Chains A and B, each alone.
Chain A
Amino acid sequence: MRYLPKSDAERAAMLREIGVSTIDDLFAIIPEEYRLKRDLNVPRQMGESEIIEYFKAAAAKNANGYASFLGAGAYRHYRPVIIDSLVQRGEFLTSYTPYQAEITQGTLQAIFEFQTMICELTGMDIANASMYDGSTGAAEAVMMAVRVTGRDNVLVARTAHPEYREVMHTYAQFWERDGGHDAKEVAYGQDGRVDLAALEQAVTEETACVLVQSPNFFGVIEDIPAIAEIAHKKGALLIVSIAEAVSLGIVRPPAEADIVSMEAQSFGVALSYGGPYCGVIAAKEKYLRQMPGRLVGETKDTEGRRGFVLTLSTREQHIRREKATSNICTNQALVALMVTIFMTVYGKQGIRELALQNLAKAKYAADTLGDSSRVGGKVLFTETPRFHEFVLQTDEDPEQLNARLIEKKIIGGLDLRKWYPELGNATLWCATELTTKEQIDAAATVLAQAPVAAASR
């Protein structure tokens, strides 16, 4: 086996030195009846060329050469080439969690830069070294708010990503069973934002936190100052979940939030059919003690030189065991490094320019696809500010519409009926800097050719 650096002669010599005659002597402790005496039924050993052929064949069965208008929490942005060159350096790729600070300063300094950049983007004081993703980060942020406030009633906007809400529900399950409260959802209004009146009614002195997503699942920007005021009036924390990090280049950061839970996949991370992505939790400094996950801090060595270490580990599972703030151990370090390199490449000016391009593309897409006189689509929530996603209502059934688009090698908007049946034939469209005018116009042409029978329904 080509990964194993030993000859059979070396193995035999080592066995002799250990003082056993066969390798199975070293497995003698496994009771006879449980020893596997046959080959595992997995594919036979392949050569490298065969492995590549296998995956190329699999890749060919996926969408190739399609224009795509999908977003919904997983965004297609340009990924600068140097990200991959740098993260494939073995010193980053094959390094362990930096517990041994003297020989992991590279990873530690990069994480310190990451934490700083996330604070700068979100307007928070502190940020951790990453969470698994935006959905589990949101669930951990809720648990953090429950610990901070000592309350267990949670309000979640229905405009938050439906799969994030499902994950939060899973994490909250045991509260319900212990007689506490589960997360309750807050409806949205005609404008596609959290219904502030409904929220005001729902928040009580028992509310630990209000969680909203902004831009929300419909691409609409929530009124964060107003929501914060409602939450804070009753002593509840405000958690803002951000699924589209690029929005922060042009959208005001949620400075009024107590905790921000972010998904940073947009910053240079491949879609990769859903992961690995990069969650991160940022917060006001006063909540530091309840922060889950790893933190890197600056300090000095015995000779006064600056260095970085994993710190405040008394919050973490390897020290506190069942009293830890979270059970998280492995995080998304290498993906956080990709995010850090992305932010370094775009920098102060570039993040804004990039976000502005996204805004322009989405505006053109919404105007074009929502041109009801020509195309037959209608964009919802047009009176509210949006980033780069919008909900399109059509006469045509989304499944049929998307089937017609696919014939033209276009993957249309995401069918929303499963999650928001009240919106009728609604699809969620996304345009980024990679979406071209040509693609948008082509999609509009397909929409305009809706079969008359469907259009007249």
Chain B
Amino acid sequence: MATTKGFIGNTRKVTAHLTQNEPLSFEKSSPGKRAYKLAPLDVPEVDAVSLLGGAVRKDDPTLPELSEIEIIRHFTRLSTWNYAIDLGMYPLGSCTMKYNPRVNEFVSRLEGIAEAHPYQPESLSQGSLEIVKLLQDCLIEITGMDAITLQPAAGAHGEFTGILLARAYHESKGNPRKTVIIPDSAHGTNPATAATCGYQVVNLKSNAKGGVDVAALAQMVNEGTAAMMLTNPSTIGVFENEIHRIADVLHDKGALLYMDGANMNALVGKTRPGDFGVDVMHLNLHKTFSTPHGGGGPGSGPVACKTTLEPFLPTPVLARDGDGLLHWNYNRPQSVGRVRMLYGNFGMFVRALAYTLANGPDGLRQTTEDAVLNANYFRKKLEDLYELPYDTPSMHEVVFSDKRQAKNGVKTGDIAKRLIDYGFHPYTTSFPLIVPGALMIEPTESESREELDLFVDAMRQIAREAEENPQLVATAPHSTRISRLDETTAARKPVLRWQGPPENGVELDTAAKEW
């Protein structure tokens, strides 16, 4: 702990305990150890050199050689260095870190599901196809759209697919158009996606309430506008209550409204994008539908659209035959093509469907209500200490700024790091870009009142520390295995792989060149 004097909060949620040290698996390796045993070969042995000739591999790769118990300990020890939803609240705004139900994991591992080969005959894949069909039907109903593809592998991939649909739609009318309008509050994937699809990005400045400036939008939209990419609720957690006017302004010029569904957890069962004018949108099954983040993936980013865009969906699309059997239809002359091999991250479909079935219509609605309740509870309990840049009503997340704490040199990133000492994962920092020093907090529905109160208590104590002991906050965290890392050197002299043991006690110069 820093030796600075002044108020030091009581981190009552956590107690420091020992964690095991663990080197890289390569550093633990010793020749001759093994953790596998193949079944004996029941066919004649072969000579690789005579079969492969010059294509045979001569040098073995440097992979670790370890026994099973060492591998179990290696990864178990590493796991204990991670924070996780299973340990406590993960208030990352826009990330929707909700509980990942274990029955989802169980059913996705049932043999007939986990071992299903994607090219199995359709007659022997009806179970998988029924799962796809029911999930599609549920997602169409939840979004209020007309058609869907589950092929995209993640949110950004869904955006890519959705904008390709918009492009194909405009092309079918003779002109792909040139620009995509994106509010300055948008997630970085939005502009990156538009650029990937060959569109110029036009930035729309948010209005004084952090929402879409409809008058400015009306000025901006013209016959060159392909679409607007809108996150609703926005990244400051506010529902665009002029959404119908936004849609009208776009539609009047033949442009489409794309909705980034990252914040769908605020809407499920309460309102439907298809009803308020959205033409195409993506969902994140790894946010709203509880599939695990897994340290960064896998995700799944289904794209739902209106009938007008249905002909352009990626191939194949699911169809039911006259005999009641499901099959993949590849005969889609207007399709944008494939965005991924096979049918998408099927294992995530299983989990998302299990989540939907566990909830039912009442559970889905209650989930949304609890998510919004929790965010508003935080807002109420913290707004006296943290600056609220926009006083518009919050939905599933609340965005504060570090304006008051910054006076003492304490930034949002510092408060976030200090939260770690209190036993919480940080909220999202410095985003959205329209709020300088943003604290973006999304508790999700998965938190009990006790956990919420502990967070409130932590945030209030940190606010006091920022007043009375700012250095303590500015140098946090103080309780982790490692302190803040030198990110500058990491980027300037990248070391992206293990290079072997140092020779003659001298460390190899692994940084070949300056970045």
CB under 8 Å from chain B, chain A span 294-311: 294-303, 305, 307-309, 311
Contacts of B9 in A (CB 8 A): none
Task: Please determine whether A309 and B485 come into contact, CB atoms closer than 8 angstroms.
Answer: yes
Task: Please determine whether A62 and B112 come into contact, CB atoms closer than 8 angstroms.
Answer: yes
Given contacts A95-B84, A100-B426, A359-B48, 4 further A-B contacts (CB under 8 A): A39-B269, A40-B269, A113-B26, A326-B192
Chain B: which residue is nearest A356 at the CB level?
B48
Contacts of A312 in B (CB 8 A): 491, 494, 515
Contacts of A317 in B (CB 8 A): 156, 188-189, 191-192
Task: Please determine whether B116 and A273 come into contact, CB atoms closer than 8 angstroms.
Answer: yes
Task: Please determine whether B103 and A52 come into contact, CB atoms closer than 8 angstroms.
Answer: yes
Which residue of A1, A319, A360, A402 is within 8 Å of B44 (Cβ)? A360
7 closest Cβ contacts across the A-B interface? Answer: A334-B294, A59-B112, A45-B360, A90-B86, A174-B198, A274-B342, A333-B296
Which of A3-11, A204-212, A228-236, A373-381 forms part of the interface with chain B?
A3-11
Q: 25 A–B contact pairs at CB < 8 A?
A: A3-B363, A3-B367, A23-B369, A34-B243, A35-B270, A64-B111, A82-B71, A94-B292, A95-B84, A112-B497, A120-B63, A125-B497, A126-B496, A166-B337, A177-B171, A253-B61, A271-B114, A272-B114, A276-B346, A285-B512, A337-B75, A348-B62, A359-B46, A385-B52, A406-B124
Cβ of A300 to closest chain B Cβ, rounded Å: 5
CA of A249 to CA of B134 in the docked complex: distance in angstroms?
Answer: 41
Contacts of B358 in A (CB 8 A): 1-3, 45-46, 48, 51
B501 close to A (CB within 8 Å):
no
Chain A: which residue is nearest B138 at the CB level?
A42
Which residue of B90, B367, B392, B487 is within 8 Å of A299 (Cβ)? B487
Which residue of B111, B141, B293 is within 8 Å of A59 (Cβ)? B111
CA of A294 to CA of B297 in the docked complex: distance in angstroms?
Answer: 12
Contacts of A149 in B (CB 8 A): none
Task: Please determine whether B153 and A276 come into contact, CB atoms closer than 8 angstroms.
Answer: yes
Secondary structure call for the A interface: helix
Task: Please determine whether B83 and A275 come into contact, CB atoms closer than 8 angstroms.
Answer: no
A66 close to B (CB within 8 Å):
yes
Task: Please determine whether A94 and B38 come into contact, CB atoms closer than 8 angstroms.
Answer: no
Task: Please determine whether B56 and A252 come into contact, CB atoms closer than 8 angstroms.
Answer: yes
Cβ of A264 to closest chain B Cβ, rounded Å: 13
Task: Please determine whether A90 and B87 come into contact, CB atoms closer than 8 angstroms.
Answer: yes
Which residue of B48, B124, B339 is within 8 Å of A63 (Cβ)? B124
Task: Please determine whether A321 and B487 come into contact, CB atoms closer than 8 angstroms.
Answer: no
Contacts of A433 in B (CB 8 A): 38-39
Chain A: which residue is nearest B125 at the CB level?
A62
Task: Please determine whether A105 and B481 come into contact, CB atoms closer than 8 angstroms.
Answer: yes
Chain B: which residue is nearest A109 at the CB level?
B78
B92 close to A (CB within 8 Å):
yes
Which of A132-140, A151-159, A448-456 forms part of the interface with chain B?
A132-140
B55 close to A (CB within 8 Å):
yes
Task: Please determine whether B296 and A302 come into contact, CB atoms closer than 8 angstroms.
Answer: no
B286 close to A (CB within 8 Å):
yes
Task: Please determine whether B115 and A76 come into contact, CB atoms closer than 8 angstroms.
Answer: yes
A198 close to B (CB within 8 Å):
no
Task: Please determine whether B188 and A321 come into contact, CB atoms closer than 8 angstroms.
Answer: yes
Contacts known (A303-B483, A349-B60); A360 close to B43, Cβ less than 8 A? yes
Cβ of B415 to closest chain A Cβ, rounded Å: 13
Which residue of B31, B356, B484 is within 8 Å of A102 (Cβ)? B484
Which residue of B34, B87, B342 is within 8 Å of A347 (Cβ)? B34
A330 close to B (CB within 8 Å):
yes
Interface string of B61-87 (1 = CB under 8 A from A): 111111010011011111111111111
Cβ of A286 to closest chain B Cβ, rounded Å: 9
B446 close to A (CB within 8 Å):
yes
Contacts of A10 in B (CB 8 A): 449
Contacts of B370 in A (CB 8 A): 4, 6, 11
CB under 8 Å from chain B, chain A span 78-112: 80, 82, 84-98, 100-107, 109-112
Contacts of A274 in B (CB 8 A): 118, 341-344, 346
Which residue of B118, B362, B515 is within 8 Å of A39 (Cβ)? B362
Interface string of B315-346 (1 = CB under 8 A from A): 10000000000000000000011111111111
Contacts of A3 in B (CB 8 A): 99, 101, 358-359, 363, 367, 445-446
